[in-house]
Amino acid sequence: MTNEFSWQPDPASGITMQWIEANGQTLELATAGSGNKLALCLHGFPELNFSWRHQMPMLADMGYRVWAPNMRGYGRSSKPHGIASYALDQLCADVAALIDASGAENVTLIAHDWGAIVAWHFAIKKLRPLTRLIIMNVPHPNCGRRELRHWHQLKKSWYIFFFQLPWFPEWMLGRNGATPIKRAFSNMAVDKSRFPDADLQIYAGAANRPGALRAMINYYRALLRTKDGRNIGNAMVDIPTLMIWGEEDTALDIRCTDGTEQWVPNFELHRLPNVSHWVQQEAPERVNAIMRKWLD
């Protein structure tokens, strides 16, 4: 395994990079802080652990050991073959293996986008004990299913069905050095100044790696083609849960947050106006302040 990484953190941030073995995969891991309290941060599509660069120093300052992996298929992490390799059960098993490897007794799971899909299922299935759960811009599975029955959400979810096509989505997103990946951030963002080209190039460069786009899109293919996401029992989450939601999300309607308390009794929602789907990158000061107060 090469010692190169797709993201070289500023030494002043306190973030370092390493490799870790988890569930048979070799994952790139950004780390900060130390101690027995683990904050495990799961990124989304088409992101990387780089998306947590604003939160990791704050969490470390609060006394957490912070781990942010590049999930399987992303960056220089392993890219197993086949759609079934990206089923939710496999993704949740990666999270369980990371928690086991950490040896931490107190675990807060923090997740955005696809990472939050995994986090919801991990918490529902109680695969490992969690102390707290922080979700950003992804609904509880039952709320998401409910909203998909309505046109206001179905029309926003068109890309999930587009991603079911063979090879064509990879070709589309990989054109011109994966320029469409960069546009996914800049076009959706409200405050586009938060996404300078140097940052966007990190995402595009990672997506351009051999096999990366196929792996990233296979998350969506597996979501519709396996039963993992439907086997969630009563779907209850019985740990304290914080949801932070950028209201100008063009992929997920704000009505997806309605009724979450039915399945998450200990629930707190913070809606951020004039903020897009990329909430923790576009509004890091507000997100960090909410997280710090809630975790304290």
Q: Which two tokens stand for residue 253?
A: 């309607």
Concatenate the DSSP letters of all residues of 118-176 into one string.
HHHHHHHHTSS--SEEEEES---HHHHHHHTTSHHHHGGGHHHHHTTSSSHHHHHHHHH
Give the torsion through C-alpha atoms of 132, 190, 255, 260, to 10 deg. 0
242: left (phi over 0), alpha (psi -120 to 50) or beta: beta
Of 64, 86, 203, 220, which residue is the catalytic one?
220
Report helix, strand or coil for 268: strand
* Residue 81 known to be catalytic: no
6 touches 206 (CB < 8 A): yes
CA atoms of 204 and 224, how far apart (whole Å): 26
The one-character DSSP state at 264 is -
Residue with the two structure tokens 């990672």: 206
* Residue 270 known to be catalytic: no
Of 113, 228, 249, 253, which residue is the catalytic one?
113
CA atoms of 11 and 271, how far apart (whole Å): 33
CA atoms of 56 and 199, how far apart (whole Å): 17
Q: 184: closest CA among 117, 116, 278, 112?
A: 278
Q: Residue 235, Cβ neighbours under 10 Å: how many?
A: 18
Q: Residue 238, Cβ neighbours under 10 Å: how many?
A: 13
* Residue 113 known to be catalytic: yes
Chain-centre distance for alpha carbon 33? 20
Of 43, 121, 140, 277, which residue is the catalytic one?
277
| Catalytic residue IDs | 113, 220, 277
